[in-house]
Amino acid sequence: MDREELVTYPLEAFQSRDYLDDEKRLLWPKIWQMVEREEDLPNPGDWLTYNVADESVIVLRKDDGSLKAFHNVCPHRGRQLVSVPDMLPGQVHDVRGNNRKSFICGFHGWTFDTDGNNTFILDPQDWDNKLTAEMTCLSEVQVDTWGGFIYINMDPDAVPLAEWMGFAGEVLEAHEMSKMRYKWRQWAIYECNWKVAIEAFLEPYHVAGTHTQLLAYGDYYAYSKQFGLHSVSGYDVREEDFATETSGGTTRSGKAGLDPRVSTYQLIKENYETVNYAASTETLVNAASRLVDELPEGTPPGDVVAHWIASAKKDDAKRGVVWPEIPADIQKESGLAWGLFPNQNILHGATYALCYRVRPYGDDPDKCIFESYALERFPDGEEPETEWVYAEPNAENWGTVLQQDFDNMEFVHKGMKSSGFRGPLPNPHQEQKVINLHRNLANFMGRGGVRKIEQ
Ligand code: FES
Ligand SMILES: [Fe+2]
């Protein structure tokens, strides 16, 4: 729930090695976390690895179409079953393959079927035949799917994934994310703690200060709200008189005071092109470009947006992309972007999503693995082939807007180490998502958290 209070939170979550060690014990093995999109494992025998902190997990598609997940470790003497190299810049993102019928450990040859049962041990009589099936099978990991994503949880006692997702899951599911496919996906190693990186995308309060060029066509006041583990932000108005929008997402009208037929187009075009062709679609940009021809001068902003959305929907239907019918009560709370605890952010629309995921990097609290990917609805058979691409963090690879965000991250991380920094003063109206991250982290970590500033 919204608690617009003056609060702060301690910095150890960003800086302390000891805190990072505790995350390995108390956070990562206890949470539902996104591994990959389902379409990456289309056929029986398809498999891939997912690493987070010191953990490595294998996820596999079985013959009956279900998914199975195991800790990537041989129960004999602990070799990784599949060798997964560290994510060094420019090298492998993960290890994956097809047609897998069994896993054979490269050390002493113990073998496992796709259910994780041990099917071969060399010289079992040497153990006096005392090894049981339970002692020699792979350790299972919970796996489930939601919105076209594969999620795992290493905690056998974890709440079901649907319960974990809660209202955030309902809202995003209404956008039929399971029918979207990757448009692009990129990753890099950044010089900041993973929380600094995700926080850079949790709040639109920074738009005016960081992405100054965007102010030419749009107004960027934001609200933010907590819903349990997760939280949402959306566009807001400072004063009711200036309400110009019909949606909390990117499909809204341009800056108040300008001709909305023109500024709506300029706003969406600029958003799309400078956020690496994400957070909108070609269809929406093209439909917006026709507003000035299709509508009379003086059309009110709300009508401009309604016409724009209706014509984009029609254009998409013609090419076989049918928009989801989003119930009004869901649309109302839908917002611009959801922060999914702890390390994911999803900026969603009817036919697209721009998503971020961050993970810690080795034992270094000053570094993280940063990933971003765009999803979109495509006509059947026109989905592009994509894979994870290592991309140095610059405007050429990521677009101007994302590069501006990256430019903050390293220096936020550095700045917070200053002995002159008295602690964060998050905006109670616009930065609830950041506050919620720290509040929920404390529940897992048993330390840190959010403290009310007494006055
Ligand atoms: S560690 Fe795997 S067979 Fe020995
Ligand atoms: Fe930004």
Pocket test for ligand 1, best of 72, 102, 110, 122 (most atoms within 8 A of CB): 110
pLDDT band at 2 (very low <50, low <70, confident <90, very high): low
Mean pLDDT of 200-216: 93
Average predicted confidence (pLDDT) for the chain: 94
Q: For the whole prediction, is pTM greater than 0.75?
A: yes
pLDDT for 242 equals 45
Q: Which amino acid residue places its CA nearest to atom 1 of ligand 1?
A: 77
How far is ligand 2, taken at its centre, from the CA of residue 400, in Å? 10
Q: What's at 163, amino acid-wise?
A: E
Please say whether the beta carbons of 300 and 279 come within 8 A. no
- Cα of 50 from ligand 1 centre, angstroms: 21
Reading phi first (left if > 0) and then psi (alpha if -120 to 50, else beta), residue 129 is in left
Tens digits of residue pLDDT in 318-346: 999 999 999 999 988 899 999 999 999 99
Residue 128, pLDDT above cutoff 70: yes
The reported pLDDT for the residue numbered 218 is 85
pLDDT value at 370 more than 60: yes
pLDDT at 246 over 70: no
* pLDDT score of 417 more than 90: yes
- Residue at token pair 């690895």: 49
Give 54 Cα–ligand 1 centroid separation in angstroms: 19
3-class DSSP string for 76-129 = CCCCCCCCCCCCCCCCCCCCEECCCCEEECCCCCCEEECCCCEEECCCHHHHCC
Angle between helices 301-318 and 282-289 (to 10 degrees): 130
The protein residue with its alpha carbon nearest to ligand 1, atom 3, reads 108
DSSP per residue, 218-277: ----EEEEEETTEEEEEE--SSGGG---S-SSS-----TTS-HHHHHHHHHHHHHHHTTS
Mean pLDDT computed over 269-286: 94
On the question of pLDDT at 243 being above 70, the answer is no
Q: Which ligand is nearest to the CA of 121?
A: 1
Name 119's Cβ contacts closer than 8 Å, sequence gap at least 6.
102, 111, 112, 113
Question: Nearest Cα to 57, choosing from 155, 188, 198, 181?
Answer: 155
Percent above pLDDT 70 for the chain? 97
d(CA 98, CA 373): 23
User: Counting ligands in written order, which one lies closest to the CA of residue 105?
Assistant: 1
DSSP state of 139: P
Domains delineated in the chain: 1-29+162-455 (3.90.380), 33-157 (2.102.10.10)
Confidence at 250, pLDDT banded by 50, 70, 90: confident
- 115 CA to centre of ligand 1 in angstroms: 18
Residue nearest to atom 4 of ligand 1 (CA): 108
User: What is the pLDDT, as a whole number, of residue 248?
Assistant: 66
Nearest to 339 by CA among 146, 193, 150, 200: 200
Question: Does the structure show a pLDDT above 70 at 245?
Answer: no
Report residue 119's pLDDT band, with 50, 70 and 90 as the boundaries.
very high
- Percent share of the chain, pLDDT over 90: 88
Backbone φ and ψ of 56, nearest 5°? -135, 135
* Nearest atom within ligand 1 for CA of residue 77: 1
Residues touching ligand 1 (Cβ under 6 Å) are 74, 76-77, 79, 105, 107-110
When pLDDT is averaged across residues 170-183 and rounded to a whole number, the result is 97
Contact 276, 399 (CB under 8 A): yes
How remote is the CA of residue 211 from the centroid of ligand 2, in Å? Answer: 7
